[in-house]
Amino acid sequence: MKAPEATGTAVPSWMVAHDRLFIGGRWVPGTGEVIEVVSPTTEQVIARVPSASVADMALAVQAARHALDTGPWPQLELAERLALVAELARLMRAEQEAIAQLITAEMGCPITQSRTIQAVTPVRVVESYLQIARQHPFREIRRSSTGAALVTREPVGVVAAVTPWNVPLGISTQKVVPALIAGCTVVLKPAPQTPLVGYLLAQLVERAGFPPGVLNVVPADRAASERLVSHPGVDKVTFTGSTAAGRRIAALCGNDLRRVSLELGGKSAAVVLDDADLEQAVAALQMGAFRNNGQVCTLKTRILVSPRREAELVERLAAMVGGLAVGDPRQDATDIGPVVSADQRARVEGYIASGRDEGATLVTGGGRPAGQDRGWFVEPTVFSDVSPDMLVSREEIFGPVVAVTRYRDEAEAVALANDTPYGLSGAVFTADLERGLRVAGRMRTGVVELNGAPIGLGAPFGGFKDSGLGRENGPEGLDAFTELRSIGLPGDFRPTL
């Protein structure tokens, strides 16, 4: 692995201490402890923000409840809400470089990926929902032989949005924007590792002119977060994170019959069929398996190949990984930056050790890159000869580690792809697209990419099995923040829609 030159870039001026929470349209003092934001690159504290207490969280829910029950937001015409959301998109587009720099500083995503993905995707999410909302059937008349009804999609209510650190703004917009369009109010709880992005979103919402209390932003620890998702003033929880945390949230919500959407972990398989173009497949897997330093839930970290193509595929993978530049994520030349924390690096290194101990072949990587004395770096790693029962094949690592497993035939390839408690994403590489579609149709997963083709923001995203409940993006993502109401109509009544 190559290392780009180190940088002496100073901490930008926007990385300062924040001593307020954004609640009810105002910046109010927090009553909890302080969160220190630590750079995964330098291991230095780059910012301090308040950690919302249980009392702060209750205040945020109260503000959102007030804005829903007595404020203008749910009663606005759809076009009025869309105009404010469009202004938010305009402001986000204008701040893309600041967003990219902020995400790279907070969680170590390589700056080129922050610029082309992390800062761009949120704007595209907003624009996609604006287009979808203009065509969405918020009010429709349904007639049948037994009667006629006006069917309306009403805002589900106060939404608690709990977001992770790996795609902090993109995932926040996937939750906040459709909720706002639907007429809901939101309490956003960003991850403690990346609270600064949440602050930036709050500032943009304030500048866009949203009514007070429509969006509230409160970074918090686990106790206050648990209070948020179990608060009786919350009608819906939307969460992205680990499956273990998702189970806990589902249990808390289930007790009160609170609506919940969960986007959880993954251990996705890439099925490489014998007729696949291996050069194209490996090129796609550079981002498909190692994007964001291996810290994306949809990455294809299990690569399935037959013995007939295995040696060539492993050789090509090793060459690709060996050519990745590992180092300071602020440098344009960097392909792989640090993982988010010391604990995360220890977790990744534990899985690498288990792969060695269980008999997998270490093809490349497996250690810490030379010359990186500061920062939580892990070399991108490829294992081959991985059996399906090994930990590196079974469990989500959330680091730059992939496992290559061989299959005998197509039936076993599908069986191995499905031999996981997860079902979030997957891929099929083949020259025969019809065959690829047939294989994709047998995979028990919410998303399948054919030859690396992305599904786009107009299609629903989410998982089967332990990968979650519900869907984001597309019309389905907007419906997730609505409740259906049916009003019986007399036969001669023709309401205005």
Concatenating the DSSP letter of every residue in 77-99 gives: -HHHHHHHHHHHHHHHHHTHHHH
pLDDT at 17: 65
Q: What is the pLDDT of residues 425-460, one digit of tens each?
A: 999 999 999 999 999 999 999 999 999 999 999 999
Residue 153's alpha-carbon distances to 18, 157, 261, 471, in angstroms, are: 38, 12, 17, 17
Helical residues (DSSP H) of 155-194, grouped into ranges: 168-182
Contacts of residue 20, Cβ cutoff 8 Å, sequence gap at least 6: 27, 28, 29, 30, 50
Query: What are the backbone dihedrals phi and psi of residue 95, each rounded to the nearest 5 degrees, phi first?
Result: -105, 20
Question: Could you tell me how far CA 494 lies from the centroid of its own chain?
Answer: 43
Place of tokens 């440098």: 331
Give the Cα separation of 489 and 468 in Å (integer). 38
150 C-beta neighbours (distance < 10 Å), count: 16
Tally of CA atoms within 13 A in the half-sphere of 57 that contains its CB = 28
Sign of torsion, CA 211 17 220 170?
Answer: positive
Q: What is the CATH number of domain 268-456?
A: 3.40.309.10
Contacts of residue 403, Cβ cutoff 8 Å, sequence gap at least 6: 301, 302, 303, 355, 360, 383, 386, 390, 392, 393
Q: String of b and e for 30-52 (b: at least 16 CB within 10 Å)? A: bebeebebbbbbbeeebbebbbb
pLDDT at 165: 97
pLDDT at 9: 40
pLDDT at 496: 78
User: Hey, is 68 helix, strand or coil?
Assistant: helix
pLDDT at 226: 95
Give the Cα separation of 160 and 153 in Å (integer). 19
E-assigned strands of 323-384? 361-364, 381-384
pTM for the whole structure: 0.94
CATH superfamily of 20-264+468-485: Aldehyde Dehydrogenase; Chain A, domain 1 (3.40.605.10)
* Helix axis angle, 78-94 to 96-107, nearest 10°: 70
Fold match between 20-264+468-485 and 268-456? no
| Token digits of residue 409 | 């035939």
Q: Which residues, in sequence order, are bridge partners of residue 21?
A: 28
pLDDT at 287: 98
Give the Cα separation of 59 and 95 in Å (integer). 29
| Token digits of residue 130 | 């604006």
The series of mean pLDDT values per 10 residues for the chain, 497 residues long, is: 41 62 97 95 95 97 98 96 98 96 97 98 98 97 94 98 98 98 98 96 96 98 94 98 96 97 98 98 98 98 98 98 97 98 98 98 97 95 98 98 98 98 98 98 98 97 98 98 97 82
pLDDT at 16: 54
Give the Cα separation of 471 and 454 in Å (integer). 16
Catalytically active residues, by annotation: 263, 297
Domain ranges of the chain: 20-264+468-485, 268-456
Q: What is the pLDDT of residues 152-206, one digit of tens each?
A: 999 999 999 999 999 999 999 999 999 999 999 999 999 999 999 999 999 999 9
Give the Cα separation of 424 and 446 in Å (integer). 5
Place of tokens 């919302």: 52
Place of tokens 């990744």: 348
